[in-house]
Structure 1
Amino acid sequence: MNPTEAPDRCRIVLIAPPREEPKRILSAFEGGDVASLILPQWEADDDEFQSYAEAIIPGAQAAGLAVMIAGDPRIAARCRADGIHFEGSKQALAEIVEKHQAKLMVGTGGATTRDDALELGEVQPDYMFFGKFGYDNKPEPHPRNLKLGEWWGEMVRIPCIVMAGSDLAGLAAVAETGVDFVALSAAVFGDGIDPAQAVARANELLDQAPRFDEG
């Protein structure tokens, strides 16, 4: 994540939806503070995904974002991304951490229970993600993700991201858990939404949320 002049409150992580235009993704950063961008591979083949990532990563990094590739780790290296987002078994995650974490951040997710999250956390990823890409189709964040995020933040020092819903009004519920980052996708890149305006509004809402030093 980008620590430069980071505000002392929950920050935004953007998740690119399927087949979103690179220009539209890059336009979102004009709306203000964004910590990181996760690029899922979705259904694209490796060559298509690499070309897509290469069209976005330089502009995102120039805007101060860390870019995570949720796909083949080799693509992350070729595209000079900042890290890898991997969801899988503890053993597979451990192998990726051992092989790549010296040069790239390695984040993970996919846990739906406390026990699963702690298992993955033992491998010491750079962050834990609660939620599922593409499942932010309801206005509110999923209650389970909110509870897991709040619990994780109280118990574990590894940073945590919680998936928000499709309506920016749900940001308050995420920020109030005390988590480090809130993930947005449909609320920023949905049909008829101006990404820059959505990011600007999201930052306004997060500025009204409790600061980390307020508990």
Structure 2
Amino acid sequence: MSNKSPPPRPAPRLYLATPIVDDPASLLAELPDLLASADVAAVLLRQKETDPRTMISRIKAFAPVVQNTGAALLIDGHPELVARGGADGAHLSGIAALEEAVPSLKPDRIAGVGGLTTRHDSMSAGEIGADYVLFGEPDAEGQRPSAQAIAERLDWWAELFEPPCVGFATSLSEAHDFAASGADFVLVDDLVWADPRGPKAALVEADAAIKKALAATPADQGHG
């Protein structure tokens, strides 16, 4: 290991997951203002399952709105719809889904992955070619690791591996802590959409929380 100080970390950025979209009209109307209010690197479009044509139409409606703000549009699952809808990539769940999707997505589009329950799975995802790994999202039963366990996994990954890591935050304190632990991106969903003040106020606060975490982490200090 070299004693040279690592280069300063880029500022962590937000990754915004939509609610499950059926009729996209109202969300499309508020999205440009919302994305302009904070530093959002990417939007994850979650869709109500239906026929492929309807899902592609939704993606086509979201793609220009998101991409015109400089953010990337990723689709939750359905890598086969990415190119047809004009999205930038797909978020897959688990190693098998990633392996299946990589040939059709790479090198032109993003293949991100979550559902990584072990360190071994995470390393396998990196070897397969994942463009990012997500830690901390709830499983099918709504269970997730403790915030401390998620922070430790992010810290481990950021220390050792090149691809970006994403922390799934359910509170502002998690957003701050995950950014401080080395997350390159912090994914937010209900934290924003369920806020009684409206999503914009919550998104601005989440953005401030992750920026504050970086300010508190000296660039020459190693993680862990």
Compute the TM-score of the two structures, normalised by the length of structure 2.
Answer: 0.80
- Give the aligned length: 205
| Distance change (3 Å), C-alpha of 1:141 and 1:188 | farther
Equivalent of 1:75, from 66, 81, 95?
A: 81
| Distance change (3 Å), C-alpha of 1:46 and 1:142 | farther
Report the identity percentage.
30
Matched, 1:33 2:39: yes
Q: Is the CA contact 1:69–1:85 (under 8 Å) kept in the aligned structure 2?
A: yes
Q: Is the CA contact 1:12–1:35 (under 8 Å) kept in the aligned structure 2?
A: yes
CA distance in 2, matches of 1:210, 1:63: 24
Matched, 1:13 2:18: no
Matched, 1:117 2:119: no
Alignment of 1:92-171 (within 5 A): 92-132=97-137, 142-165=147-170, 167-171=171-175
Q: Is the CA contact 2:88–2:109 (under 8 Å) kept in the aligned structure 1?
A: yes
User: How far off is 1:101 after superposition?
Assistant: 0.5
Counterpart residue identity of residue 162, structure 1: G
Counterpart residue identity of residue 89, structure 1: I
Residue in 2 aligned with 1:188?
Answer: 192
CA distance in 1, matches of 2:197, 2:101: 36
SS of 1:182's equivalent in the other structure is strand
| Distance change (3 Å), C-alpha of 1:171 and 1:88 | closer
Q: Which has the higher contact order (CA 8 A, sep 6+)?
A: 1
Q: Is the CA contact 2:46–2:76 (under 8 Å) kept in the aligned structure 1?
A: yes
Counterpart residue identity of residue 202, structure 1: A
| Distance change (3 Å), C-alpha of 1:177 and 1:16 | same
SS of 1:153's equivalent in the other structure is helix
Residue in 2 aligned with 1:178?
Answer: 182
CA distance in 2, matches of 1:44, 1:132: 24
Residue in 1 aligned with 2:95?
Answer: 89
| Distance change (3 Å), C-alpha of 1:134 and 1:152 | same
- Greater mean alpha carbon deviation, residues 75-84 or residues 195-204: 195-204
Residue in 2 aligned with 1:4?
Answer: none
CA distance in 2, matches of 1:141, 1:66: 29
User: How far off is 1:42 after superposition?
Assistant: 4.7
| Distance change (3 Å), C-alpha of 1:143 and 1:176 | same
1:52-76 deviations in whole A, cap 9, x for unaligned? Answer: 2222211110001011112222211
Runs of 4+ in 1 over 4 A off after TM superposition: none
CA distance in 2, matches of 1:23, 1:168: 26
1:111-161 deviations in whole A, cap 9, x for unaligned? Answer: 0111111122210211111132688x89x9733322211111111111000
CA distance in 2, matches of 1:26, 1:113: 37
User: How far off is 1:206 after superposition?
Assistant: 2.1
